[in-house]
Amino acid sequence: MAKTVVRDEARQRRRRTKQGAVLTHAQIVETALRMLREHGAQGFTARRLGLALGADASTVYRYFAGMDELTLAIAGELMRRAMEHWRPVGAWRADLRALGLSIHSAYLAHPQAAVLTASRVSGRPEEIAADEAVLGLLREAGFPDAAAVRIYHVFIDQTLAFAALDAASLALPEAARQSDEEMWQATYATLPQQTHPHISATAGLLMARMNSSAYPAALDLLLSAAAAELSTVAEGAAPKPRDGC
């Protein structure tokens, strides 16, 4: 017989945990985020989660159909935090930039969870709210629907791809991450001009940039291209002056 899953609006245990606390959906997700931060995806199991909650492993399955559903709930929580800190000002380009940076920042605050969830499509209300916001900004700015969907697609995939890439670096063991960061000075900066003229000429600039995320620059390039496209759309929609006027 299939397990009975408690619905979102009623996700509270009928019995207390061993510590006397009553579990909630939000508490399980928060504990899962902490487990991922401390143990990584390898330690993200129902048994460990139950121990961290002071409950049996089977308790998780009263709130979620499985660990995969919990993973999607974590994705939703990261997006909720991103939206929570986003404050639109009524200018589509500034608002999209702020939203992209907010999503990127929310995922990087939990790098292990970001690596686990950035490629997932959760279909949860938090994700849907973000998608609706992006499409709304683009359509209300005047982009035709086909262009709005294309730019939305690039925007959200670019944001989550950079979140996954940057989070993967942050999730590395400290020694490995430090070794990667030092590589630009230890190796690239020492390459001779005779064999690697272009790297040699730009070594200082590479060292200054390559250990920080390229996402803000990539986002600005995307928004500049979108703004140029919108200008073309506006020019095409403007009435042409009559001859002699």
Say how many domains are in the chain. Answer: 2
Same domain, yes or no: 8 and 88: no
Which amino acid is residue 217, in one-letter code? A
Q: How far apart are the first and last CA of the chain?
A: 80
The three-point CA angle 148-221-160 to 5° equals: 65
Domain boundary among 34, 65, 96: 65
Q: The CATH number of the domain where 89 resides is what? A: 1.10.357.10
List pLDDT tens digits, range 63-111: 998 999 999 999 999 999 999 999 999 999 999 999 999 999 999 999 9
Query: Which residues are CB-neighbours of 139 under 8 A, at least 6 positions away?
Result: 145, 148
- Bridge partner list, 12: 24
| Distance from C-alpha of 84 to C-alpha of 71, rounded to nearest angstrom | 20
Decide: residue 55, CB within 10 A, 0-12 exposed, 13-18 middle, 19+ buried: buried
Same domain, yes or no: 187 and 163: yes
Q: Are 160 and 103 in contact (CB under 8 A)?
A: yes
Residue 242's pLDDT is what?
57
Residue 97's pLDDT is what?
98
Residue 113's pLDDT is what?
96
Same domain, yes or no: 33 and 145: no
Cα–chain center distance at 228 = 26
In a domain, 238, yes or no: no
What pTM did the predictor assign? 0.85
| Distance from C-alpha of 148 to C-alpha of 139, rounded to nearest angstrom | 6
In a domain, 236, yes or no: no
| Distance from C-alpha of 228 to C-alpha of 77, rounded to nearest angstrom | 34
In a domain, 244, yes or no: no
In a domain, 1, yes or no: yes
Spans in the chain with pLDDT lower than 50: 1-7, 9-15, 20, 245
| Distance from C-alpha of 151 to C-alpha of 156, rounded to nearest angstrom | 9
Same domain, yes or no: 17 and 58: yes
Residue 237's pLDDT is what?
63
Helix (H) or strand (E) holding 182: helix 174-186
Residue 34's pLDDT is what?
93
Residue 243's pLDDT is what?
57
Same domain, yes or no: 48 and 29: yes
Same domain, yes or no: 46 and 78: no
Residue 13's pLDDT is what?
44
Query: Which residues are CB-neighbours of 111 under 8 A, at least 6 positions away?
Result: 37, 166, 167, 168, 170, 171
Same domain, yes or no: 54 and 124: no
Same domain, yes or no: 30 and 137: no
Could you tell me how many helices (H) and strands (E) the chain has, helices first? 11, 0
Residue 204's pLDDT is what?
95
| Distance from C-alpha of 106 to C-alpha of 114, rounded to nearest angstrom | 9
User: Which residue segment(s) compose the domain that 1 sits in?
Assistant: 1-65
Which amino acid is residue 2, in one-letter code? A
Q: The CATH number of the domain where 55 resides is what? A: 1.10.10.60
Same domain, yes or no: 51 and 86: no
In a domain, 8, yes or no: yes
In a domain, 242, yes or no: no
Domain boundary among 65, 87, 113: 65
- Single out the residue of 177, 31, 180, 172 nearest to residue 46, CA to CA: 31
| Distance from C-alpha of 157 to C-alpha of 151, rounded to nearest angstrom | 10
Residue 232's pLDDT is what?
87
Residue 33's pLDDT is what?
95
